[in-house]
Structure 1
Amino acid sequence: MQPLSRNRQAAAPTPIPDDSAGAPAGSVVAGMLFLGLMFFILGFATWLNGSLVPFLKIVCDLNNFEALWVTSSFYIAYTLMALPSAAVLNRIGYKNGMTLGLAIMGAGALLFVPAAQTRQYALFLAALFTLASGMTLMQTAINPYIVRLGARESAATRISIMGLFNKGAGVVVPLVFTSLMLAGIERFSEGGLGAMTPAARAAARSVLAQRLVFPYLCMAAGLFAIMVLIHFSKLRDIAPEAEAADADSGRLARAGVLRFPQLVLGALALFAYVGVEVIAGDTIGLYGQELKVANFGVLTSYTMVCMVIGYLVGVVAIPRWLSQNQALLLSALLGLLLTLGVTLGAQHGVVLSRVLVGWSGAPPVPDSVMCLALLGLANAMVWPAIWPLALHGLGRYTAQGSALLIMAISGGAVMPLLYGRLSDALDPQGAYWLLLPCYATIFWYAGWGHRLRSWGGPRSVNP
């Protein structure tokens, strides 16, 4: 997602005034280094799911629907914990919020140890929810912090740099996971396990699960170490500003945002977008596993490389050559075309990947898998384009509108589960038809929905 933690733009509790234009250059650079490290950590934890899904499918003997509860338990934390995180930051401040978020993430990483030792899937899901809860608090703190770190007119540049840290982690993590976790995975294939006795099969799965213990202990240790580093660092704190009084506060204010169709329809488009982004990033390894792709554990890296390319194109082209809604239209159209490639493409032919990545020495993958990876290119510019279109003209309702958009991240919890159910009922490739109405929703919003300013009323003159 773009560009914050999967690049989630967490709902800031209140507007933050620009009081940092005169920040010393040295403090900005030091702050950027700390925040870059944290964005890399957030990306590492987020994009690990794409490799974890097929791994836990073997370890816990799951079908596709059950395995994709990994993504559901992870992304639902963004919906459930965004507003509580904002309330916590109002009490303890942003720097302490980062520290607490890292501590919660460390606790989530530690939960993987008993989960791996017992092979209890519910424990794995609890660990993922805890990890994502800490990430939600972290993102709620660092999104406004990166804006306030230096001059506001250079905030976009800082956000772009942070986005590259995040997406770079998405490229690296599947490679690391595969080298540590998936060595000799052939003996744990469906055929190999099926030839064993029940006792031997259970023992083999337990041995495979133990591979998670050491990496997650290292992750927890690293998170706690960085927590201490941030706590004792000279990062200046940013005190939250008290929210201005609103005559329509409370229940009326919350109902008030529903009067804005550009916002409500934007939340729907964002729900669809987060769903397709997570499906493209987190099911590609599962799909590759179904097709017996030898390097299925690294396939999320293919999607992430495409997202990095798309993100760089967006940074250069918007708004110089493309407006936000034009970028959104092109992204949705490309998503529609690539969805046809995923659903109708060859399951074993590798012509497309040889043409596109053969020069790089990357292992070729089936054409339908390559189209799925290329969805990263289509998805890259959607997140930053929807937010300004959806919040345009909200005025004093902007904070409530931002919270509504954050809730739309639940698409990452719902849509992959629906894909998993369709995958088990139909077939893994055919289930990707689910992407078509999602991209159609984004396309309609980019062309028409964002222009609406009243339900049943006229479109705006200036979209």
Structure 2
Amino acid sequence: MKKEESVNVNTLSRQETVVSITIIAGMFFIFGFLSWINAILIPYFKIACELTHFQSYLVAFAFYIAYFVMAVPSSYLLKKLGFKRGMMVGFFALSLGAFIFVPAAMMRTYGLFLLGLFTIGIGLAILQTAANPYVTILGPKERAAQRISIMGICNKVAGILAPLFFAAAVLRPTDQALFDSLAFMHEEARGAALDELIRRVVVPYSVVGTLLLVIGIGVRYSPLPEIDAEEEHGEVAVANSSKNSVLQFPHLVLGALAIFIHVGAQVISIDTIINYAGSMGISLMEAKAFPSYTLGMAIVGYFLGVLVIPRWISQTNMLRLVTGLGAVLSLLVVFVKGDVTLFGYHTDISIWFVVLLGIPNSLTWAGIWPLALDGLGRFTKVGASLLIMGLCGNAVLPMVYGYFADSAGLREAYGVLLPCYLYLIYYAIWGHKLRSWRKLERRKTF
């Protein structure tokens, strides 16, 4: 299959750049919708499939471990097929994953649901490996964090809508009474009730699968240009002349670890908050709004990024600021207690610190990407795939949280966030500056 001819981004007109960014923004909306719906799938499957906290967080594990499996193969797929055909394949994988939900629901088989989520994750790994370099490269690099913030707004708006749409399509006003009575039902009656509950996903996911199939074909024939992410000029070409592997770029490798830690911490703050609200006596029907509050704070952070980066603060200094804020909020979640009534909810104050984590989480991703990809030249595609591989942090860290939630308590489990933000502070101040492993070795000798 012959690739379409790629173009250098510097040759694109302003109109072509705007159209490209708009198409990518639409894709980020889809990414957000499919990713953040996990926040309500976790408690939904916990009830319908009768799971522990740890088992329920396999939703995040199955979904995001696909990034680890598929990230590097995605870069080679895109190199062979080109960006547009590669993204079409990604959308087809999303569609297949959605359709797998149908037999999974008919049999109420949790393992099959996890397979569907893994397949969706594979599709997103392909698409994100393609989409993020577009955002980073299309425009001045000092404004990359600003463009990523715009993509983040699209992503998080979808994240706010996804749980609400899912709840509207699948949950009923009378379901809370059903949830409360399940423990007292006879086994046969409980099984029938849970079968009915889980089969409500059949129609929504059938519709989503069909739409994704159509969108994939649309992207293939869209005006989105093929970009040349591998051409090197001047100082970059000279600096990279002796390198033959992305592992020779310490700022990239440390950046991939930063992505791993950041996204895992972000998912913990969003996907666990419904269960945390439930521990305070808030029903699922009410608690379903809490992920939207955290994502709403993320949108506030993104708008802040758009307004002030780089006009009043550089993207690097903003990264330092927000990672420090994340560390402070993590401490407040674990150690500050007290009853408050806010927005009609009577809760412990700590849940609102979890909500506020949306602000630092929003701008951390935007800060890491341009720093990690800086100066990669012809290694940009593979470098981007390494960063996308870091998204498997979404799979691992929620499982760590789930383990401590079962053994130590839901509040105490948020303690896993503090070392995450401490590493992110390190990367923001020192890690992104490393251009040679030898320099790091010399530092360790002093």
| DSSP-derived class of the 2:203 partner | helix
Letter of the 1:435 partner, please give it: L
Provide closer, same or farther for how the CA distance between residues 103 and 319 of structure 1 changes in structure 2, counting only shifts above 3 A. same
Q: Among residues 95, 106, 116, which one is paired with 1:106 in the alignment?
A: 95
**Which of 301, 304, 316 does residue 295 from structure 2 map onto?**
304
In 2: Cα distance, 1:32 partner to 1:394 partner:
22
Give the structure 2 partner of residue 11 of structure 1: none
Structure 1 unaligned regions, length at least 5: 1-14
- Please give the per-residue CA displacement for 1:237-279, whole angstroms capped at 9, x wherever unaligned: 41656778976565xx25533xx3x444333333221110111
- Equivalent of residue 435 in structure 1, options 411, 417, 425: 417
Shift of 1:45: 0.4
Verify: 1:323 aligned to 2:314, yes or no. Answer: yes
> Within 2, Cα distance between the matches of 1:170 and 1:237?
27
Find the partner of 2:261 among 263, 272, 279: 272
Q: Identity rate of aligned residues, in percent?
A: 39
> Could you tell me how far 1:350 is from its partner in structure 2?
2.7
Aligned residue for 1:314? 305
SS at match of 1:350: strand
Quick one: structure 1 residues 181 and 342, their matched pair in 2 at CA, closer, same or farther if it must change by over 3 Å? farther
- Identify if the C-alpha distance between structure 1 residues 92 and 116 changes in structure 2 by more than 3 Å, giving closer, same or farther: same
Quick one: distance in 2 between partners of 1:389 and 1:146? 13
Give the distance between the partners of 1:163 and 1:266, measured in 2 at CA.
19
In 1, Cα distance between equivalents of 2:151 and 2:10: 21
**What amino acid is the match of 2:309?**
I
Partner of 2:362: 380
1:112-169: CA deviation from partner (whole Å, max 9, x where unpaired)? 1111111111111110111111122222333344567789998776554433222210
Take 2:432 and 2:217, find their aligned partners in 1: how far apart are those partners? 44
Q: Deviations over 1:379-419 (max 9, x none)?
A: 11111222333445666665554443333222111100010
Query: Using the alignment, how far apart are the partners of 2:269 and 2:151 within structure 1?
Result: 22
Q: Distance in 2 between matches of 1:209 and 1:405?
A: 35
Instruction: Kindly indicate whether residue 441 of structure 2 is the aligned counterpart of residue 456 of structure 1.
Output: yes
- Kept in 1, the 8 Å contact 2:145–2:367? The answer is no
Range 146-155 or range 335-344, more displaced = 146-155
Q: Aligned match of 2:107 in 78, 98, 118?
A: 118
- The answer to which of 396-405 and 124-133 deviates more is 396-405
Q: For residues 202-237 of structure 1, give each alpha carbon's deviation from its aligned partner in whole angstroms, at most 9, with x where no partner exists.
A: 111111101111111111122123234334x45254
State the Cα RMSD in Å.
3.0
Distance in 2 between the 1:156 and 1:165 partners? 14
**Residues 341 and 371 in structure 1, CA contact (< 8 A), matched pair in contact too:** yes
Q: 1:33-48 alignment to 2 at 5 Å?
A: 33-48=22-37
Equivalent pair of 1:51/1:298 in contact (CA under 8 Å):
no
Q: How has the CA–CA distance of structure 1 residues 131 and 350 changed in structure 2, closer, same or farther, with 3 Å as cutoff?
A: same
Quick check: 1:331–1:382 contact (8 Å CA) kept in 2?
Answer: yes
Establish whether residue 342 from structure 1 lines up as the match of residue 333 from structure 2. Answer: yes
For the structure 1 residues 400 and 408, does the alpha-carbon distance in structure 2 shift closer, same or farther, using more than 3 Å as the test? Answer: same
Residue 389 of structure 1: aligned partner: 371
Residue in 1 that maps onto 2:153: 164
For 1:100, the aligned partner's letter is: V
Determine the C-alpha separation between the residues in 2 that align with 1:327 and 1:156: 10
Report what 1:79 is aligned to: 68
- TM-score where L is the length of structure 2: 0.85
Structure 1 residues 255 and 382, CA gap change in structure 2 (3 angstroms): closer
TM-score, length of structure 1 as denominator length: 0.83
Higher deviation after alignment, 73-82 or 176-185: 176-185
Structure 2, unmatched stretches of 5+, are 1-5
Alignment of 1:12-411 (within 5 A): 17-22=8-13, 25=15, 31-145=20-134, 159-183=148-172, 184-189=174-179, 191-231=180-220, 233-238=221-226, 253-257=245-249, 260=250, 262-294=251-283, 295-346=286-337, 349-351=339-341, 354=342, 358=343, 366-392=348-374, 401-411=383-393
Alignment pair present for 1:426 and 2:408? yes
Report the CA distance between 1:372 and its aligned residue. Answer: 0.9
User: Where does structure 1 differ by over 6 angstroms across 4 or more consecutive aligned residues?
Assistant: 147-157, 241-247
Answer whether contact 1:281 1:304 (CA < 8 A) is retained. yes
Q: Provide the C-alpha distance between the structure 2 equivalents of 1:394 and 1:31, rounded to a whole number of angstroms.
A: 22
CA distance in 1, matches of 2:398, 2:277: 16
Aligned 8 A contact 1:98 1:141 in 2: yes
In structure 2, relative to structure 1, the CA distance for the partners of 1:145 and 1:177 (3 Å cut) is: same
CA shift for structure 1 position 30: 5.0
Secondary structure of the residue that 1:320 maps to in structure 2?
coil
- The 3-state SS of whatever aligns with 1:211 is helix
State the distance in 1 between where 2:432 and 2:218 align.
43
Could you tell me how far apart the structure 2 residues matched to 1:215 and 1:401 are? 36
Equivalent pair of 1:275/1:416 in contact (CA under 8 Å) = yes
2:310 match: secondary structure:
coil
1:270, 1:408 within 8 Å by CA — same for their partners in 2? yes
The answer to whether the 8 A contact 1:106-1:223 is kept is yes
* Distance in 1 separating the partners of 2:213 and 2:427: 43
Q: 1:444 aligns with which of 426, 430, 437?
A: 426
SS at match of 2:357: helix
What is residue 5 of structure 1 aligned with on the other side?
none
| Cα contact 2:136–2:370 (8 A) shared by 1 | no
Offset of residue 299 of structure 1: 1.5
The answer on whether the counterparts of 1:85 and 1:136 sit within 8 Å (CA) in structure 2 is yes
Aligned to 2:311, the other structure's residue is in SS state coil
